[in-house]
Every structure is written in structure tokens, then in C-alpha cells.
């Protein structure tokens, strides 16, 4: 099978699948299987979506969400990379911090909702607190894996040639750990988006989540659906962007090269 034909027919099937879903959502309320007050027909949802896309409110909300996501992700990423590398290369530090990491990591970040509400109220600060906590562990764990995976022979070689600690990190640890770091970033980006929306939804920080909450409590059902579609599309865009970045950064790396070739 040539690649383009396979790709084309897959596109056809995929379009059929999406079309089928839209038809289903159109038919179910029209046939009265589910009350139209709770599930409006697809055409109505799409019409609402189109109207919403024309209003500045949606774009402002989207901007707020993405701002919280990006700032939180950047803070978590920076902190986790620095801490991860330090813990990974300073002898004994890994063993010393292990139990603490294993205890703190599974704590669900939504447990911090009340604390964030108290400290920051419905504002960007709350979003950042949840996003940073959730994203931090994803990156940290991967960085620790990555540093542990550095070839010990290469490490000894570098030491025997008298490379300084800083150049060892720069030329040896960082490049070997990079694939793990990028995996961590990819996982963290998805989690950060979930938590950004959650903070807005539950605490009321401005953004997409807050819009959904408002639409729901005011009974604007098709708006709720339209906003969920927006959230899904943004989620897809976030995943795609991070994957693209991962490929760019790791273009030299064998794991990615074979993935691209396959």
C-alpha cells in the first residue's frame, strides 16, 4: 500500500466517523430519545459555536485559559528540570529525596483547591497553583529517569577528561536526558490544560472553565456544549503543538528518527 493512498482512505473513514457522530447527536434529540433541553441537536450546537466564535468574550476567555496554562507549565517545567538535574547528579540526593517524591507525587492536585481559594480567590493565582503542582511532578519524574539513564561509561569518560560539573551537565547529562524531558513536557502539557480548566470551573478563575460554569448555571445548554467543543479542540491543538516541538527538538535522536520513518 502506498503511503498516500492509505492516508487518503483513512481520512475518508475518519470523516465518516465524525459525520456519524454529528448525525447521531442530530438524530437523538430530534427523535425524542433524549430531551432536547439536555442535549440539543448537533446543528444547534454548531450554530451556537459559530455565534460564540464571533464574540470577543470567547476569545478573551480562551486567552485567559491559555495564559494560565502557559505560565504554569513554564514555571513547573523550569523548576522540575533544575531540581531534577540537581537531585539526579548530586550523589546520595536521589536516595534521600525518594520517599518524599513518592509521597507527594500521587497527591491529587485538586486537593489544593480549597487552599488556592483561600490564598488567591478566583484569579490567575489559583489557576497557577493547581497547574504548577500537577505539571511539576510529571516533568520531575521524567527528568530523574533521564538523568539515571545517562551512560555511566560516558560519565566516567567525561570525568577522566576533566570536564567541569557544568559542562558535564551541558554536554552529557542534558542531551542524554532530553528525550525523557520532552516526554515529561508532553505529559505535563496535557495535565496542565486539564488543571487550568478545572481551576476556572471550580474556583471561578477567569477562562473557558468559568464560561462553562456560567453557561450551565444560566441554563444556556447549547452554549455549554459549544464551549466543551472549544475545550476539546484546544486540547487537540495543545497535544499537537507539543508533539511538533518534541519532534523538532529531538530530530537528531534515534528513537524519533525511527518513529518518523515508520
CB nearer other proteins, residue 172 or residue 227: 227
**Residue 167 vs residues 118, 153, 161, 164, 174: alpha-carbon distances, Å:** 44, 16, 11, 5, 10
Candidate residues 18, 23, 33, 60; the one interacting with other proteins per rule CB under 8 A: 18
Number of residues that bind other proteins (CB under 8 A): 65
CB nearer other proteins, residue 118 or residue 260: 118
CB nearer other proteins, residue 21 or residue 167: 21
What are all long-range contacts of 198-202, with beta carbons under 8 Å and residues at least 24 apart? 198/110, 198/130, 199/68, 199/113, 199/116, 199/126, 199/127, 199/129, 199/130, 199/131, 200/64, 200/65, 200/68, 200/127, 202/110, 202/113
How far apart CA 94 and CA 98 sit, in angstroms, is 6
Residue 113 binds to other proteins (criterion: CB under 8 A): yes
Q: For other proteins, which stretch binds (CB under 8 A), given 7-15, 49-57, 75-83, 254-262?
A: 7-15
Question: Are 202 and 221 a contacting pair, CB within 8 Å?
Answer: no
- Can you say how many angstroms the Cα of residue 209 is from the centroid of all Cα atoms in its chain? 15
CB nearer other proteins, residue 118 or residue 261: 118
Residue 99 binds to other proteins (criterion: CB under 8 A): yes
> Grid cell 534515534 — which residue?
254
What's phi and psi for 163, nearest 5 deg?
-70, 140
Question: Are 187 and 138 a contacting pair, CB within 8 Å?
Answer: yes
Candidate residues 31, 38, 160, 261; the one interacting with other proteins per rule CB under 8 A: 38
Candidate residues 103, 161, 166, 252; the one interacting with other proteins per rule CB under 8 A: 103
**Residue 106 vs residues 99, 110, 111, 136, 141: alpha-carbon distances, Å:** 12, 11, 11, 12, 12
CB nearer other proteins, residue 117 or residue 174: 117
Residues 160-219 that bind other proteins (CB under 8 A): 193-194, 197-198, 201-202, 208-209, 212-213, 215-216
CB nearer other proteins, residue 123 or residue 216: 216
Where do contacts with other proteins occur on this chain (CB under 8 A)?
1-2, 5, 9-10, 13-18, 20-21, 34, 38-39, 95-100, 103-104, 106-115, 117-119, 145, 148-149, 193-194, 197-198, 201-202, 208-209, 212-213, 215-216, 221, 224-225, 227-228, 231-236, 238-239
Amino acid at each position: 500500500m502506498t503511503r498516500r493512498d492509505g492516508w487518503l482512505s483513512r481520512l475518508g473513514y475518519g470523516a465518516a466517523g465524525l459525520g456519524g457522530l454529528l448525525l447521531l447527536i442530530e438524530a437523538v434529540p430530534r427523535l425524542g430519545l433524549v430531551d432536547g433541553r439536555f442535549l440539543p441537536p448537533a446543528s444547534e450546537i454548531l450554530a451556537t459555536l459559530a455565534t460564540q466564535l464571533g464574540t470577543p468574550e470567547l476569545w478573551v476567555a480562551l486567552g485567559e485559559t491559555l495564559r494560565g496554562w502557559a505560565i504554569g507549565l513554564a514555571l513547573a517545567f523550569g523548576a522540575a528540570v533544575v531540581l531534577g538535574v540537581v537531585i539526579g547528579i548530586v550523589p546520595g540526593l536521589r536516595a534521600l529525596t525518594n520517599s518524599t517524591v513518592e509521597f507527594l507525587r500521587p497527591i491529587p492536585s485538586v486537593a489544593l483547591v480549597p487552599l488556592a481559594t483561600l490564598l488567591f480567590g478566583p484569579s490567575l493565582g489559583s489557576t497557577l497553583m493547581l497547574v504548577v503542582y500537577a505539571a511539576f511532578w510529571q516533568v520531575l519524574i521524567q527528568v530523574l529517569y533521564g538523568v539515571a539513564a545517562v551512560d555511566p561509561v560516558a560519565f566516567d569518560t567525561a570525568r577522566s577528561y576533566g570536564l567541569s560539573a557544568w559542562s558535564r551537565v551541558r554536554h552529557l547529562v542534558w542531551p542524554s536526558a532530553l528525550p525523557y524531558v520532552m516526554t515529561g513536557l508532553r505529559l505535563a502539557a496535557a495535565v496542565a490544560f486539564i488543571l487550568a480548566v478545572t481551576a476556572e470551573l471550580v474556583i471561578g478563575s477567569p477562562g473557558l472553565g468559568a464560561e462553562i460554569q456560567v453557561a450551565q448555571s444560566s441554563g444556556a445548554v447549547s452554549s455549554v456544549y459549544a464551549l466543551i467543543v472549544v475545550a476539546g479542540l484546544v486540547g487537540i491543538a495543545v497535544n499537537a503543538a507539543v508533539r511538533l516541538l518534541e519532534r523538532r527538538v529531538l530530530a537528531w535522536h534515534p528513537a524519533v528518527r525511527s518513529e518518523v520513518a515508520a
